[in-house]
Amino acid sequence: MASDVDRPKASKVDNDRDSISSTLKTGRSLVLVQLLTRVLTFVLNQSLVRLASPEVFGTAAIQFDLIYTTILFLSREGIRNALLRSNSNIALARLPLKLGFAVATTAVGVYLYSSNGVTTSQEGFYIALGLYVGAALVELWVEPMYIQTIRSGRMGVRVQAEGGMAIVKAVVTFLSLVLSPKQALLGFALGQFSGAVWLAGRYIWGFGLSVDR
């Protein structure tokens, strides 16, 4: 019969194995999410090339997407990396949203100043641009919940949030273009914004509206 001294050791080994197994499962899930995102993006682009004009596709997939990623990168990446490498108060994760408004104002101002009349005269241009900016701000709003997800090890929430976001974006964009091809630019924007809403909704469902630790 195992001694009392051996039991804690066996328990520790079992816990380590469970931790390793959980980490591997999470890693596989994240890889699958990234793969799913790439596949959906490729399929979506191939389908939308046939549904949208080159002008609309270029504006949405290149110009608007650049605005979107610029807002996210400049507003949150430095703070996110700092928070994930330290035990700083998670309240700092609310700062990217505040920065996001300033970055968005600057980026959109520069973009509109440098855009030509052909681009800005497209159907639904300004509404679509606003939805892309809105989608970026929604993501920045739930940044504290993202940090809490990583710190707490609840990676399943992240997998569902990001995986669902990719699916929702693809489905909404495709359906919008099929149902209203004349509003193609707006269709891209609705897909982007809907994906961000899914992301926020999943994080809120997992953590609520208040994340303080």
Per-residue confidence (pLDDT) for residue 24, from 0 to 100: 54
Per-residue confidence (pLDDT) for residue 29, from 0 to 100: 64
In the block, residue with structure tokens 């990583």: 150
Question: Residue range 12-34: average pLDDT?
Answer: 57
pLDDT digits (tens, 9 = 90+) for 101-121: 999 999 999 999 999 988 999
pLDDT at 159 over 80: yes
The pTM of the full predicted model, rounded to 2 decimals, is 0.82
Domain ranges (residues) in the chain: 37-207
Nearest to 172 by CA among 117, 135, 130, 140: 135
Per-residue confidence (pLDDT) for residue 26, from 0 to 100: 57
pLDDT band at 192 (very low <50, low <70, confident <90, very high): very high
Per-residue confidence (pLDDT) for residue 181, from 0 to 100: 85
Per-residue confidence (pLDDT) for residue 211, from 0 to 100: 64
Per-residue confidence (pLDDT) for residue 21, from 0 to 100: 53
The C-alpha angle with vertex 23 and arms to 17 and 27, in degrees rounded to 5, equals 145
State the Cα–Cα distance between residues 73 and 136, nearest whole angstrom. Answer: 10
Nearest to 41 by CA among 184, 171, 147: 171
Q: Picking from 67-71, 144-148, 156-160, which range would have the lowest pLDDT averaged per residue?
A: 156-160
Per-residue confidence (pLDDT) for residue 70, from 0 to 100: 97
State the Cα–Cα distance between residues 183 and 209, nearest whole angstrom. Answer: 34
Per-residue confidence (pLDDT) for residue 65, from 0 to 100: 95
Q: Picking from 6-10, 62-66, 125-129, 164-168, which range would have the lowest pLDDT averaged per residue?
A: 6-10
Which of the pair, 185 or 39, is modelled with greater confidence?
185
Which of the pair, 34 or 105, is modelled with greater confidence?
105
